[in-house]
Structure 1
């Protein structure tokens, strides 16, 4: 039987149109024009089911430009509370330089003051996860341009940070996120192919090696967006959502470790997303650090991006790539 070439071509065209429509629905081919990042903060008496963004609790790019006129943006906030002071560390991009790590401080968690740059290197720095470990303060920022995951120690907290160890050598990974305890020490970090790897060690200064199940996530949600948070059910990790372009939103994933194995499952989609009525965050959000300070006090910091304009640009390759990686993740990841 001879095939009707016209019908075959029409069927093929219909299939392509449906496929492209589905891809565009998940990851639009038109990309919005995002601009400068700002950070925000807040508190709650319990882990919030839904994050409510307070328009009055933002340290904006305009605030920082007034203190440092070379500022391009501030992003990736992490905090520690020591005695009566909140120390908020962030990625600080300035004109004509690689990004540094800078600091805001507050005594009430509401009014922040700019304290300047606390760490600068010849390579790009971001994602400054700061934590206290055995009475000393450490930082694991993103140091992919150094071709390693580096550990810094504060010799005069919150200043004077120096490299004290190389946790993982000869690798370029973004947004490394640590969880340390007496029974579990893990780190997740993501490569350029959007594979989130899981590492483990017997302590912070132990030998970090890939978990026997090395890849936790692949695709549009595979890059950490904040530190692990422990609760009664296990660990929660904020994970960036790339489905509508870089920095569009954040989901929460549940990691459960037991007997040398782990499971990972998305628990909340769009936990943070664009705040259309708030100019500082109307393009999207991509970072969260939430910690339980005492029995009924949770404190958190986050960041968001503002639209430069209402215009959009065409992005063909991105949606095709992201949907391929998500399909791969669906087949390969437990």
Structure 2
């Protein structure tokens, strides 16, 4: 028996694996995994066009009664993130479609949003030392690079939103991803100016790194943040931005925290670090989230 265990230690390794789930609730602070949905709704095994290690960082939009979900797929051969697409008619059951964006550098956190009649995408492109903007030329599968919103920096999980006729951008920086910077612009394509209060969070891995779409709820601006104090990707908190002008920034933690967290078992056993919440009816919200578990796999160094 001891010999079998020793062999297992040589040939088997433990890998953390992200997958994607759907939560629902009466508010963006009160979200749960319902009995009507079998989570996770998307895993690496659903990816059909490349070998995949995991799927994570989901964002979704609804267009002509179809839900489109964009997410990171970690390419199992290149060990590099690319952006995948899945679709749904009810936001509960999802069908994987294809990889829609691949670059020579790592891609993740595909922040998709609509401006007037056009869709835009801001994936994380920290390996390219920039925040790159893409525009759909044939939504949802074809995207064209437009420009760098910011360059010559280490920008992670960048999140944009419009408020009081200005565009705002929150992004994590520093090697430890524990600093949150704020920028603003008159228009999406214009020059971005760093806020005088930026960085608005410094050296705090509990509340700095963005964890999904910035939303408006009850006339309040809500940002989600990764809480990585215990381990990376353990849980997600929410903050209300109480003052946002070109001269000042204030926020306060909401009382419902954490919003989502590791369950201790199953697909989200050891962590949850992302949420994109959408209101679909009065007191009815749906959110795509991700969760992490450990999985035992054969070490590829010993594969024939």
Which of 212, 228, 231 aligns to 1:226? It is 212
Aligned to 2:236: 250
Aligned equivalents of 1:43, 1:50: Cα separation in 2: 8
Deviations 1:149-172 (A, max 9, x none): 010001000011111121111111
Count of aligned residue pairs for this structure pair: 274
Question: 2:69 touches 2:85 (CA, 8 Å); kept in 1?
Answer: yes
Question: 1:180 touches 1:203 (CA, 8 Å); kept in 2?
Answer: no
Aligned to 1:210: 194
In structure 2, the CA distance between the partners of 1:223 and 1:298, relative to structure 1 (3 Å rule), is same
**1:269 deviation in Å?**
2.9
1:155-174 equivalences under 5 Å are 155-174=137-156
* Greater than 4 Å deviation, 4+ residue runs: none
Q: Aligned pair 1:140/2:122, yes or no?
A: yes
Aligned equivalents of 1:52, 1:34: Cα separation in 2: 26
TM-score (norm 1): 0.77
**1:232 deviation in Å?**
3.0
The structure whose Rg is larger is 1
Question: 2:24 touches 2:32 (CA, 8 Å); kept in 1?
Answer: no
Aligned to 2:299: none
Runs of 5+ unmatched residues, structure 2? 1-13, 297-304
Aligned to 1:315: none
**1:270 deviation in Å?**
2.0
**1:99 deviation in Å?**
0.8
1:1-334 equivalences under 5 Å are 35-44=16-25, 46-54=26-34, 56-61=38-43, 63-64=45-46, 67-68=48-49, 70-97=51-78, 98-191=80-173, 192-193=175-176, 194-218=178-202, 219-220=204-205, 221-260=207-246, 261-267=248-254, 268-277=256-265, 279-308=266-295
In structure 2, the CA distance between the partners of 1:240 and 1:163, relative to structure 1 (3 Å rule), is same
In structure 2, the CA distance between the partners of 1:259 and 1:285, relative to structure 1 (3 Å rule), is closer
